[in-house]
Amino acid sequence: MTEMTREGNNAGTVNCKPVKPKRKRKMSTLKRREHWMALLFISIKYFGLIVFTLIPLLVALLYSFTNYIGTFETEPFFTRIGALWCGFDNYKKLFSDSTYGTMFLNAVKNNLIFTLSVPIGIFIGLVIAVMLSKEEVIRGSRIFRLLIYVPVVSSAVAMNIIWRYIFDNQYGIINQTFHLQTQWLTDNNWIKVAIVFKSAWGSIGRTMILCLAALTNVGKDYYEAAELDGASEIVKFFKISVPLISPTIFYLFTTGFISNLEAYTDAQVFAEGLPGAQTVVYYIWNYGIQRSRYGIASAASFVLTIAIMLITMLQFKLQNKWVYSD
């Protein structure tokens, strides 16, 4: 039906005029071509997400509920999934089996101990960042920044090999310098101390560079006002620097815990598989993939994924209590 409008004039009469319905403009050929071209470029990203992330994730989830052992199976996985199905047995083995459960819980304990390097590295890196931000106090601070940041961009395998020489039981720099006989690389307890020390040192450069960038956005008027009140450097550090760059510190904590829970090279290269240094990722490789037990490896992977998600969610939940926001 044709819509009508009413218009009033000075005489009080009403004129009714038909209103034509609006027609949708057709997309031009050029616009349509640009539209489909944009979708084509965007689809590449989602294609990679589906093929290399979602599909492997679903397959790994299916593996975790089966007793699939690659070396013993000659038929494709999906043709025998019904016969291989074991439910939650692999997850139960991780926490109760005398072999797989014991080693998995040991790996979890090691991972939790290694996370101590996160707050240590962040604190030291933050202190160094505050010191190097004052170029008028420390000359050549840019050179120090470069030297401290170099390990961050170095190869993880190469750095672990260098640290093996430093912590060598007989000829290591630490034992030779301090005249010690500590068995860093063969004792299950001392290897933990060595890894925490090494990991904390390796994270200092990353913490320093990010905190330096954050400190440049802190106004000098805060420090000037604190100096007028007679605040010391320690008070300015804990009352001004730390609160104002707390979003950066929160980011470092979150990513630091995730990277520590996913650590592998420390156990494989630095400790050469010593039980006191084995992590969950090392467990997934050594007791799962390397022995073709894809079911137990997939189950451990999902347990690790859930643990990382829960820890990250907890960190985001607690950030309102200490992270400063405008």
Q: How far apart are CA 241 and CA 220, in angstroms?
A: 11
- pLDDT band (50, 70, 90) for residue 216: confident
Mean pLDDT over 230-251 rounds to 90
Whole-number Å distance between alpha carbons of 9 and 57: 71
Confidence (pLDDT) at 2: 47
Q: What is the mean pLDDT of residues 61-74?
A: 88
Strands (E), the chain: 3-8, 14-19
Query: Is the separation of the CB atoms in 75 and 69 below 8 Å?
Result: no
pLDDT band (50, 70, 90) for residue 74: confident
Burial level of 293, CB count in 10 A (0-12/13-18/19+)?
buried
Neighbouring residues of 284: CB distance < 8 A, sequence distance ≥ 6: 297, 300, 301, 304
Q: Using the predicted structure, report yes or no on whether residue 226 has a pLDDT greater than 80.
A: yes
Residue of 57 and 77 predicted with greater confidence: 57
User: pLDDT of 127-182, one tens digit each?
Assistant: 999 888 876 656 667 788 888 888 888 888 999 999 999 999 999 999 999 999 99
What are the chain's domains?
29-87 (no CATH), 95-321 (1.10.3720.10)
Host H or E run for residue 139: none
Q: HSE-up of 54 (CA within 13 Å, CB side)?
A: 7
Neighbours of 208 (CB within 10 A): 27
Q: Which letter does DSSP use for residue 306 in this model?
A: H
133 compared with 317, residue with greater pLDDT: 317
Cβ proximity of 278 and 107 under 8 Å: yes
What count of other Cβ atoms lies within 10 Å of the Cβ of residue 183? 15
Q: Which residues contact 32 (CB under 8 A, 6 or more apart)?
A: none
What proportion of the chain, given as a percentage, has pLDDT over 90? 56
pTM comes to 0.83
Q: Which residues neighbour 65 within 8 Å (Cβ) at sequence distance 6 or greater?
A: 85, 86, 87, 88, 90, 295
Element containing residue 44 per DSSP (H, E): helix 29-49
Banded model confidence at residue 1, pLDDT cuts 50, 70, 90: very low
Mean pLDDT of 289-305: 93
Length of the chain: 326
User: What number of other Cβ atoms are within 10 A of residue 192's Cβ?
Assistant: 19
